[in-house]
A and B are shown apart, each in its own frame.
Chain A
Amino acid sequence: DGGITQSPKYLFRKEGQNVTLSCEQNLNHDAMYWYRQDPGQGLRLIYYSQIVNDFQKGDIAEGYSVSREKKESFPLTVTSAQKNPTAFYLCASSTPSGYNSPLHFGNGTRLTVT
Chain B
Amino acid sequence: AQSVTQLDSQVPVFEEAPVELRCNYSSSVSVYLFWYVQYPNQGLQLLLKYLSGSTLVKGINGFEAEFNKSQTSFHLRKPSVHISDTAEYFCAVTLPYNTDKLIFGTGTRLQVFP
A and B physically associate? no
Instruction: List B residues at the A interface (Cβ < 8 Å).
Output: none
